[in-house]
Chain A
Amino acid sequence: MELRAEEQLRTLILFRHHSTSRLLARSRIRAETLNSMLRFAFSNLLNRKARSTLALLGLTVAIAGMVGLFSIVEGLDRITEDTFSRIPGILVMQTGAPIPLFSRLPAEWEDDLKNVKNVKIVCPEIWVRVNVLEGKMIINPPRFLLGVDIELWNSLGHALYRDDLVEGRFLTNDDIGTRNVVLAKLIQSEMKLELGESFSINGQEATLVGVYETGSILIDMTIIMDIGSLRDQSRFDPTAISAFYVEAVDDDLNEQVIDDIRDAFRGRKGDRWAPSSVVLTPMENPLETMIEGLDRWLKSASSANPSQLSKEPESPPEPLDVSPAKENIVTEKVVTEDDLEIKKHLQVDESIPIDVQTADAWGEKFGDFMSELDFIMFILTSIGMTIAALGVVNTMLMSVSERIIEIGILKANGWSKKHVLSLISFESGFLGLGGGCLGCLFGWIATLIVNVSFPDRVELYASPQLLCFSLFFSVVLGLFAGLYPAIWAMRMMPMDAIRRG
């Protein structure tokens, strides 16, 4: 019995040993096959240098274009994320105003905001556009003057600009009533200003006391000074401010504070922002006027009842069909893979004269805009890709038709349809891989060059994910583009191929 069991065990071990050896031998042959086919495909491409280079160039340009276009979206995405993650508090603006610059609110509402539960600090802000800096007209990139209540700003737990100081000092109570300013490093470098140096903003003298740098081009365009001085300098309506920055006792209570502020201001009379209200902005520039005119025209064209835009309704509108505490937030349940997530869509409720949102919510709005941009980029990229794909099809078709005899010889030597298909696909895949690598490299270098050349205008970002996707896409594009010529070659009878040759 024991002897038999031992024999069986030995047989089993031998069988396993043979199976493993067979498997190893098979995988070695597979690796050798792949290696020889890849080498053959590569040498075929090298042998047709001009044609391969042209196809490679076409793909490179298309992929570099793709990386470039999508790096705009990713750059904006990153800026938005960088920017809004730096603002932990709540922004209160005039309903409908796109940015604080265009918002106007009564200054007296500061006390009402302070009385809302869990509100710790309310900072009034005045935003004015810089039109002339050191005698130079400023159009693009724009620069803004921000007037803050210095004492209140310094008492904030997290204060933008103050916490990003890189040189000099932030404004202190000694700067109240002065024209001392803190500005972005970008503006300082551009104007070559030293600390303590005076310069002119909108025709008025100012002195540089501090420099900040946040790294976000959306933020690093602001010059901060005392609110009173800015009000005097710009002849800003003494009863108005642009916006309020509200800090809650705890950041986690932001949502609750937003609801409470909305409740507190519901039914209160106030102007809704419309482009015409911006006539209050001093020293209008022609470009801004043109953009606002266009905006006004678009709004009137798309609105069923244009009067609603310019005129505050006499009575509050019908309440929306949502919970009483959150009338101006419509919630809609969206099923995700992991769980049910409630996505909030911010919607203007005209019974509330203010727009109260966290920076994250502003980020979401920006995100919506970027998804539109994404679509435009997709269309532009698709055009480029189609041209590149046609280039590869053309190259591979020419390459195949030039090599009809070769294909006939291969088939005469026992190459199956699958083998011929693989060879042509490897060749087009190589083109895709090469074009993808070069396209990603050039696209990435281009984004770096653009970022260095225009640091205050754009921030392009080609993420590793974008580069990997572009490379993958290029290989897939190459393979698909080579498919038609490959099928054409595959179907040919060996004799037909030889006779045609």
Chain B
Amino acid sequence: MNENQNGSATTEEEQFLAVRDLEKIHLRGETQVPALRGLSCAFEKGSFNFILGPSGSGKSSLLYLLGALDDPSGGEIYFQGKSLKSLSEPQRDHYRREQVGFIFQSFNLLKTLNAVDNVLVPFLPQGISADLRQRAVELLKQVGLGHRLEHHPHHLSGGEQQRVAIARALLKKPELVLADEPTGELDSASGAEVFRYLRQLHDEQQTTVIVVTHDERYLEKADRLLHLADGRLVREDVHTG
């Protein structure tokens, strides 16, 4: 059971995204390094969330587990009432392809593809229809890259690359966007620009956004903040600006 922002109790099955007693232990050789130690929390649909905390607090581990990029060592994650653990391999692929958009710190674009094709990457194996390509172009235009459509990543600045990554994450009209330190490799201006686009698209598509960061400059009023330390949720509050 978790409490929503209105203070009323809801079960994991009723919540958009819920985490219960989540554990993650990484193996470094034979040494076990616990990243998450029984963490429980919940995220509401359409909310803008920040996971904050020092390095090694388990922020990125939590984000990757939410995106089904990794398997938890214990506990459960429920997405729209369904446990990610119960999903079959193709269902997990579908979840990552259709419902979750990822934005990484180091952009993670494919250097052999141009900006448009990078945006279309999730759908390459399914075939790219003209409509989809048109939508990718429009998204790139929305993030101010209309003049950079055919450019490859090495011809784009860090900020531009991150905007391509945002367009890629949003092309699928995801219900959940997970961003891992999206401004970590950008200067302040580019970082602010990236967040401007992220918030603009969040407003337009009512997407739930979860951002891992330790840079608190981009927090805005009403953003939900989860403070992690040593793999545990130590505080949960709403930013008051």
Contact = CB atoms under 8 A, between A and B. Distances in A.
Interface of A: 29-33, 36-37, 40, 43-44, 46-47, 405-406, 408-417, 419, 422, 493-496, 498
Nearest to A403: B110
**Which of B104, B127, B128 has the largest count of A CB atoms less than 10 A from its CB?**
B127
B93 A414 contact: yes
Contacts of A36: 120, 124, 127-128
A493 B126 contact: no
B125 interface: yes
B127 A32 contact: yes
Interface of A: prevailing SS: helix
B225 interface: no
B66 to A, nearest CB: 11
Contact of A414 (B64, B113, B120, B122): B122
* Chain A to chain B: the 4 pairs with minimum beta-carbon distance, closest first: A414-B97, A33-B127, A495-B70, A32-B127
A413 B89 contact: no
B71 A44 contact: no
Interface in B92-128: 93-98, 102, 104, 108, 110-113, 117, 120-122, 124-128
Given A32-B128, A36-B128, A413-B97, A493 B71 contact: yes
B128 A417 contact: no
A31 B127 CA distance: 8
Given A36-B124, A409-B108, A494-B69, A414 B96 contact: yes
B231 interface: no
A31 B126 CA distance: 10
Contacts of B69: 408, 411-412, 493-495, 498
Given A494-B70, A495-B69, A414 B127 contact: no
A410 B121 contact: yes
Contacts of B29: none
B112 A40 contact: yes
A33 B126 contact: yes
Contacts of A37: 124-125
Contacts of A32: 127-129
Contacts of A406: 110
Contact of A30 (B112, B121, B127): B127
A37 B125 CA distance: 6
Interface of B: 64, 67, 69-71, 89-90, 93-98, 102, 104, 108, 110-113, 117, 120-122, 124-129, 168
30 contacts: A29-B126, A30-B127, A32-B128, A37-B124, A37-B125, A40-B112, A43-B112, A46-B112, A47-B111, A408-B69, A408-B108, A409-B108, A410-B110, A410-B121, A411-B69, A411-B96, A413-B96, A413-B97, A413-B121, A413-B122, A415-B93, A415-B124, A415-B125, A416-B93, A416-B125, A419-B124, A419-B125, A422-B125, A494-B96, A498-B64
Contacts of A493: 69-71
A69 to B, nearest CB: 37
Nearest to B93: A416
B110 to A, nearest CB: 6
A411 B127 CA distance: 16
A285 to B, nearest CB: 65
Contacts of B71: 493
Contacts of B98: 414
Contacts of B108: 405, 408-409, 412, 498
A413 B102 contact: yes
Contact of B102 (A31, A40, A412, A416): A412
Nearest to A414: B97
Contacts of A405: 108
Contacts of A496: 70
Contact of B110 (A46, A409, A494): A409
B89 A417 contact: yes
Contacts of B129: 29, 32
Contacts of B121: 409-410, 413
B211 to A, nearest CB: 16
